[in-house]
Structure 1
Amino acid sequence: MLILISAISAIASIFLITSLGNGIISMYASMLKTDGDIIVMQRGVADTFFSDVNRTLIEPISKLDGVASAQGVIVGAGAIDIVPIAGIYGVTQNRMSNYQLSKGDYPMDGEVILGETIASILDFPQNIQLLGTDFHVSGIYKSEIGFENGGVVIPITDAEKLFKKSASFLLVSLKDISLSSNDIIEKIKLLSQNIDVKSTTEFIDNYNQFKIIRISSGVIASISFFMGFLAIVSLMSMMINDRRYEFGIKRAMGFSKKKIIIETITEVIGLTLLAFFIAYGISLVLLDQLQQVEKFQGYLSGEIDHMLFVKLLIGSILMAVIGALIPAVIASRIDPIILINRGS
């Protein structure tokens, strides 16, 4: 039971830490990919929160061959009434339709629409304050992306006054996504020397904040993994050592060393697999529950991908086998009479 509980705790912690990190990346990436095949940011700025792109570029970009639309977005954060911090998204009118209204109308100047999560926290108010400025709530929207569902959307002209910038980035949608976007990227670059233009996929793969999140969650998960399985290896070794009497009797009865080792490893693998799938089930339940906690405003989301599942499965079995194999091999080489005497 000690080994089982230790293994479940170690495996579940890795599932949760890694999947929550992946969930944050996935949510922000999904937001960018909505009607965005190409992203335009300020040159030399690593974070979208500090980027400032002139919205006048939207018109010439929209006129380029192969471009379906160009949208401006301002991303920011701030206090919203009793909520200490939440996402604030200023968008151009041609992006408003991406937010599915469940109540009311899309906002005009001086108005906002609230995500369902934050609307519930604020008890569906008629008016709110954003960074000290009063706004009327014109509607409620629903989004599958936690960041957006826990935030507010306002016209980009109002966001410009709040954050003192024209746009954090521009999202460019292509008419035919099967065609290469490189030609259009080069044409957009010619419009200004102050912009950096990339495909959305390339941007997500190289975004510094995503790299930091991946590295941080990877380091924490690795520490948790090795600390947890260090305990498992120790417990496995203690269990095998405590069974020296059993090994001695089996050896005296004619069991081969190989058979004793295989039986031990099989038992350990079975125990580890049981712990793994219990931990997997617990992780799925906890991840689902965390998304329902109102206090987190929908910002916590986790996903366990196939690669994480396979890597952790292999790593769990490998560490458990190592923990059992070394003492089992040592015990199998000792004279059976010595094992029986020591065991007794």
Structure 2
Amino acid sequence: MPHAIKAIKANRLKTSLIILSLVFSITSIFLITSISNGVISMYSSMLKSDGDIIITQKNISDTFFSNVDIKLIEKIKTLDEVTKASALIVAASMVEELPIVAIYGVTKNRFENYNLIKGAYPKENEVLLGKSIYENLDKKDEIKLSNKVFKVAGVFESSIGFENGGAVLNINDASKIFNKSASMIMVNCKIDTDIEKLALKINLFDKEIEAKSTRNFVDNYNQFKIIKTSSNVISFISFCMELLTITSILSITINQRKSEFGIKRAIGISMKKIIFQIVNEALILGVLGFFMALILSNLALFLIKNNSFLQGYVNGEISLEITIFIFFTTLTISILGSIFPALNASKTDPIVLIQGDKI
């Protein structure tokens, strides 16, 4: 270890390049993973907040495209297992200078989900605003949605970024704007109800609907799969770029130290010890790069979370699970990036190394 630290200090320029490469690559993996997980967590938390069963239009790729007949609620309420049924329209619209704002049309029995901090729940032609969007509006008393002006009835606060940066309407108003009955219906059940059996029973009401347990819906939601897959692909690309960069820089560094390794071989130092030293150097750089990236990532996420323009829609937290995964990924990259140059250096004839021929 002391020899590895001494070698790192002796090659400061190359060391700085490797650390910078590690920091930016690891930071990109941190941000991509944590933000994608944050988006999934926020939307799934919103769906799980009220409802054991979610009913959407059958064979739709996204809830934004779903259209379910709200009259179905009356049939669902006749089931003994059901304690509550509510409907929700999910949409988006431009508001003032804000490029996109989430719009939620809800039945009155869902208003209690929104924690009022000012005013009252909306009546007809009124809107309830999340705290984040409310603070960004120039006109606080009314907003325009799809060429229709709504009076601001109150303000609510939510820990879910999508809601805190959104607007809540009566479902009848939202239905007129977005020309649909309901995006989904949420069903609450009595304790000890067999959720899957009840979902099958509800599906018999209409061949155009699909009822699933909330857990099943969230686990199989197509958009979540797309986000996770995209995140994994981009992270893998970052991984490969980082591996290539470390291997290239270490190869150049080791090539410049050929005389050092030649002398070590000549005086009887084994190949294993030379490889071990080089891998140790890479691991030290990897650990340094990891912790610098962790600090930078947390700072970036803090700035993103508190950026008023983003309204809380882009959010992410670095969990312990992600931290441990990326830490071991970094160590893997460091070992893989150093192993080829190390093997190349250790296998070369010491006389050739001392003479200064290329590795």
TM-score by length of 2: 0.90
Q: 1:154 aligns with which of 162, 169, 175?
A: 169
- Match for 1:108: what amino acid? K
Q: RMSD value over aligned CA atoms?
A: 1.9
Name the residue aligned to 1:232. Answer: 246
Distance 2:305 2:232 in 1: 21
CA contact (8 A) 1:100 1:143 kept: yes
Deviation sequence 1:234-292 (CA, Å, 0-9, x none):
11222222222221222233322212211221221121011112212211221121011
How do 1:126-165 and structure 2 match up within 5 A? 126-165=141-180
| Structure 2: tracts of 5 or more residues without a match | 1-15
Corresponding position of 1:211: 225
Q: Is the Cα–Cα contact under 8 Å of residues 102 and 165 in structure 2 kept in the other structure?
A: yes
SS at match of 1:55: coil
SS of 1:138's partner is strand
Which residue of 1 is the match for residue 80 of structure 2? Answer: 65
1:256 alignment partner, one of 258, 265, 270: 270
Q: Distance in 2 between matches of 1:149 and 1:203?
A: 23
Contact in 2 for aligned 1:23/1:301 (Cα 8 Å): yes
1:11 counterpart = 2:26: yes
Match of 1:200 among 196, 214, 236: 214
- Within 1, Cα distance between the matches of 2:117 and 2:150? 19
> 1:128 aligns to what SS in structure 2?
strand
Q: Is the 8 A contact 2:239 2:333 kept in 1?
A: no
Pairs aligned (count):
343
Check if 1:75 corresponds to 2:114. Answer: no
Deviation at 1:179, TM superposition (A): 4.8
* Uncovered stretches (5+) of structure 1, i.e. residues with no partner: none
SS of residue matched to 2:143: strand
Give deviations 1:201-240, integer Å, cap 9, x for gaps. Answer: 2112222222222222222222222123211111122222
1:169 pairs with one of 167, 172, 184:
184
Query: 2:41, 2:174 → 1: CA distance?
Result: 25
Distance apart, 1:162 and its partner CA: 0.9
Equivalent position SS for 2:300: helix
- Asked if the contact 2:290–2:330 (Cα under 8 Å) also holds between the matched residues in 1, the reply is yes
Q: Do the aligned partners of 1:243 and 1:343 also contact (CA within 8 Å) in 2? A: no
- Measured in 2, the distance between the counterparts of 1:337 and 1:289 equals 55
Give the Å deviation of 1:124: 5.9
Letter in 1 for 2:57: Q
Q: Does 1:38 align with 2:53?
A: yes
Output the TM-score relative to the length of structure 1: 0.94
What is the rounded CA distance, in whole Å, between the counterparts of 1:290 and 1:332 in structure 2?
46
Partner Cα distance (2:315, 2:349) in 1: 56
Instruction: Name the aligned partner's letter for residue 166 of structure 1.
Output: S
- Share of identical aligned residues, percent? 47
Rounded to whole Å, the distance in 1 between the matches of 2:100 and 2:233 is: 27
Residue identity in the other structure for 1:72: A
Q: Confirm whether residue 20 of structure 1 aligns to residue 35 of structure 2.
A: yes
